[in-house]
Every structure is written in structure tokens, then in C-alpha cells.
Amino acid sequence: MDIIIERCAGLDVHKQVIVGSVRVPGEQRQRTVDTRTFSTMTEGLLELSDWLSSHGVTHVAMESTGVYWRPVYAILEHEFEVLLVNARHVKNVPGRKTDVRDSEWLAQLLEYGLLKGSFIPPQPIRDLRDLTRYRKTLIRERGHHVNRVAKTLELANIKLGSVVTDIMGKTGRTIIEALIQGHADPLYLASLAQGTLKKKAEELGRAVTGGRMTPHYAFLLEQQLRVIDHLSQRIDEFDARIEECMRPFDEAYRWALSMPGIAERSAQAILAEIGTDMTRFPSAGHLASWARVCPSNNESAGKRRSSKTGKANSWLRATLNEAAWAAVKKKDSYYRALYQRMKPRQGPKKAIGAVQHAMLNALWHMLSRGVPHHDLGADYFAARNVARTTRHYIRRLEQLGCRVTVDQAA
């Protein structure tokens, strides 16, 4: 095979040590291999960088092992072209696996141009990604504590959740705080209803009648509310920090917000995962493939096997899933029409997957061209082939026993 990269290196990264192998030209067209072990401390990483520079290395490849690769990448990215590769794509021969052999194998694959680097966004996007992911973790944690509040109310025989949709809303929170303070009069608790829940004052009274709000349950609820308030405060602080980090990407942020189903937090999370520079993805299909929102190819001997989308970026998939379900609820939307078209044949899960694919394709075009979202409309599929749609409805009416005469409008 032809050598594509003359001076390259492979790194086998671990928590405490890094094994590096350099492949450079030697005498009489032979390849020289030099292998050394470094510490993952900052001093060791700087020694690694100097060692690579002394060999004139231009490209470096390493596996994506947990988060251990990130400090190494931060030190080397400014001086070398660093490729972060999927460990599944560079497995060595079984029975010959050692740290030294792994690093040599990476370097050998790299010199022949057989490695493809993973998508690593620039530092501002990586910082934004850390913030949005941690905020999502805090929101999930707050949801767990809200569920614990609902459980404690059920144990105390307070059926507040059967009447109030959001027990952490204004009415639910006010009633819970009154219960903690020792108020047990159903009429007084029902009078705390606000907004549209005033119409359900009678049901609220029945829901809190006969409850066993002992000091034990009151203490649990008080502590749970404190934790929820603390998490809400932390989430607000993250919101402010994320808004500040989004200022350089205001234009892309506005374009993302113009899409149905995408709100502020969804737009921030999506841009933090895919970035704003779409030149890394040659086409919308490449972006969809990277995000694993398109069927995979698995064919052998003329038989097509499972075409599951596969494991991908769970943070992006979760956000796209929420946005897709919100988009299909908007009337007169292309995404709603797509979902209704796919659901009878493929089921709701595959249909919502198709909506995610369509939304990600639209995002690629919007960010590539610098334009807001343009909805194709709910009648897109019907208007695309009028004759086919007409035949379909005529056939359905005839199956129901109707005689149909078509008269074209002027």
C-alpha cells in the first residue's frame, strides 16, 4: 500500500499513562518506529508534544477512551492534526493486544490513510456542549425529586396529583406548603387554587380530605422542596451562562428557533452538539448518518438484515426526539403531514424517527445557506402527485360502495 502520511504517530491513551508510537522515514526506504511511554500529567503531556515535534510528526491518531483523550487533545490540537478515532474501527488482531502494539497499529493505519477522525467541534462549541449537557442532567435530577414529592403525597393519602397536572405549579406548590405548615382544612386548602384550577375547587377539597400529613411526611416534603428550589436556582444560573455563551452564534440560534418544535433550550442543545459550521458534513445525509437518525445498511448474500439506526449521540437524539414530538403537534406543518403519512405503515416510533431525520436535514440546509426555516406545508405530499392522490381517494370511496364521477375544476 502507498504511504499517505510520512510522519505520523499513534497514541494509546489510558488514565495514568500514554503509550505513543512514531513512524517516520528511515534508511533505504525503511520505516522507523519509536515507542515511548508518558504520564498523563500536564508535564508528561508537554513532554509528549515536544517528543512528537522532535520527530517532525504532522498527524496524530488516538482512540476515544472515555474522557481521558480530552486533555491530550487540548495540548496537541494547536500543533498537530489530531484524529480521534472510534475504537471499534481500529481493533487489533485478538491475542496480540498490548499497549505498545495498539499504538503501533494506530500509527500504521494512519500512515496508510485508513483512519477517519471523529467530529470534534471547536473549543467554544465544546464549552457550550458541557454547559447544555450538565443543565440537562440538573433538569432530569429535578424531575426525579418532583416524582418523589408526588410519591410522598400518595403515601400521605393526599391525591393532589389526581386533580393538578403539575404539582409544582403555583396551585400545587401553595397547597403543599400549606400542608407542611399544618393546615388540614379542605375548604381552606381548596381556596388556594389559582387560575383555571379555581373551577376544580370541589375536587381539590376531596383530594386533600382525610390525608395523613404526619410530621414525618411534612419533614420529607419540606426537604424535597428545598432540593427542588436549589436545583431550580442552579438551572437558572446555567441558563444565564448558556445565553452568554450563545452570543457569538446569535444568527444560527435565530435560524434554529424558526423551526417548528424547537424552543430556546432545544436550539441551544442542538447547536451545542452539531455546531454551527456545516462544512464538516459534506451533505445533509452525512449529518443524519453521524447523528444516527437514518437506517443503516446491513446486507449479506442478497438478504437485508436489521437496519436499526444504531447507537449515537444520546444527548442529541433525546433533544431531537422532544423537538420532533412538538413539531408533529403543530397544525398545517410539513412534519405533521410526514408523521401522519408514515405512522400507518411504519408505526409511531419509526414515523417520529423520520421526522427527526427531516428536521436534521432542514437544519443542515439552514445553517449551510444562512436562511431561516421554510415549512413545505401540510399539503406537500398531496400536491406533489395530484393524480395519485385523486386515484387513492376515488378507490377508497368505491370500496365504501360509492359511485364517483370526477369533474375537474376550471
Q: Give the number of domains in the chain.
A: 4
**238 and 255 belong to one structural domain:** no
Distance CA 387, CA 348 (A): 28
pTM score above 0.95: no
**14 and 102 belong to one structural domain:** yes
Is the pLDDT at 92 greater than 70? The verdict is no
**408 and 327 belong to one structural domain:** no
Whether residue 132 lies inside any domain: the answer is: yes
> Mean pLDDT, to the nearest integer, of 225-246?
97
**136 and 49 belong to one structural domain:** no
Q: What is the pLDDT of residues 209-230, one digit of tens each?
A: 877 889 999 999 999 999 999 9
Last residue of some domain: 48, 83, 111? Answer: 111
**16 and 97 belong to one structural domain:** yes
**144 and 178 belong to one structural domain:** yes
> Mean pLDDT, to the nearest integer, of 252-267?
95
Is the pLDDT at 173 greater than 90? The verdict is yes
**226 and 336 belong to one structural domain:** no
Last residue of some domain: 65, 86, 111? Answer: 111
Whether residue 376 lies inside any domain: the answer is: no
Whether residue 116 lies inside any domain: the answer is: no
**130 and 234 belong to one structural domain:** yes
Q: What is the pLDDT of residues 107-165, one digit of tens each?
A: 999 999 988 888 999 999 999 999 999 999 999 999 999 999 999 999 999 999 999 98
**234 and 268 belong to one structural domain:** no
Instruction: List C-alpha distances in Å: 131 to 22, 137, 240, 273.
Output: 36, 10, 11, 11
**347 and 393 belong to one structural domain:** no
C-alpha atoms less than 13 angstroms from C-alpha of 47 in its C-beta half-sphere:
13
> Mean pLDDT, to the nearest integer, of 167-182?
92
Whether residue 25 lies inside any domain: the answer is: yes
Distance CA 327, CA 271 (A): 18
**60 and 97 belong to one structural domain:** yes
Is the pLDDT at 28 greater than 70? The verdict is yes
Which neighbouring-strand residues pair with 304? 299
Whether residue 118 lies inside any domain: the answer is: no
Whether residue 234 lies inside any domain: the answer is: yes
Is the pLDDT at 385 greater than 90? The verdict is no
**103 and 141 belong to one structural domain:** no
Whether residue 205 lies inside any domain: the answer is: yes
Q: What is the pLDDT of residues 275-296, one digit of tens each?
A: 999 999 999 999 999 999 887 7
Q: CATH number of the domain at 39, please.
A: 3.30.420.10
Sequential DSSP letters for 350-364: HHHHHHHHHHHHHHH
Whether residue 2 lies inside any domain: the answer is: no
C-alpha cell at 96: 496480540
pLDDT of res. 390: 84
For 362, the domain range is 251-298+306-369
